Amino acid sequence: MPSLCRTLCALTLVGLVAFPAIGAEAVSALPAAPVPIQALSAKKVFLSNLGADAEATVAFLNIANPDAAYNGFFAAMKSLGQYALTATPGESDLILEFRVTAAQLTSGSVIQRLTYLNLNVVDTKSHYVLWTLRSPLHVTKQIDEDVKVSVATLINSMKSLTTIPKAPQSGQ
């Protein structure tokens, strides 16, 4: 009986270890979900600053103004040249809601704060969030550089989301 118990335990352990790998392969093999047409066809966007939550404000304490991240994002969107930035939401095809969030993780006496730049892509007509993008922000004393890196990641995610892949040409 003890050998049967060991065998069952071993098989259970193998199953638990193998299952995530099997699940990961199945998920990565799925076709990409379609991007809403509003996100693909937008020419004009309104940038909305939803600010920073309480934890993110603490992360920026004594380093910089929490609006530094939005200012960096605004400058990057302006220089991107992919969209005309509008003065009001009503003039736009999309609203891009920018927000800085953070969560505090505590493990024993170690406190870690995970900070993120978040971008909701919102349809102007329906007011539905079509997509959400997120970029980690490592807040250090070099906040200007930290923001540049995180904003660049967010901008690249936005470009990837809104770029329509070109179909392969026949005969090649």
Query: 125-171, pLDDT tens digit by residue?
Result: 999 999 999 999 988 888 888 889 999 999 999 999 988 765 555 55
Sign of the CA dihedral running 81, 84, 88, 89: negative
Give the separation between CA 124 and CA 91, rounded to whole angstroms. Answer: 9
Question: pLDDT per residue over 96-108, tens digit each?
Answer: 999 999 988 888 8
pLDDT exceeds 80 at position 61: no
CB-CB contact of 55 with 102 (8 Å): yes
Average pLDDT over residues 28-53: 90
Q: Say yes or no to pLDDT of 13 above 50.
A: no
Closest CA to 76 of 96, 102, 61: 96
Contact status, residue 139 vs residue 81, Cβ threshold 8 Å: no
Distance CA 139, CA 147 (A): 8
Position 28 pLDDT exceeds 80: no
Pairing between β-strand 94-107 and β-strand 110-123 as defined by DSSP bridges: antiparallel
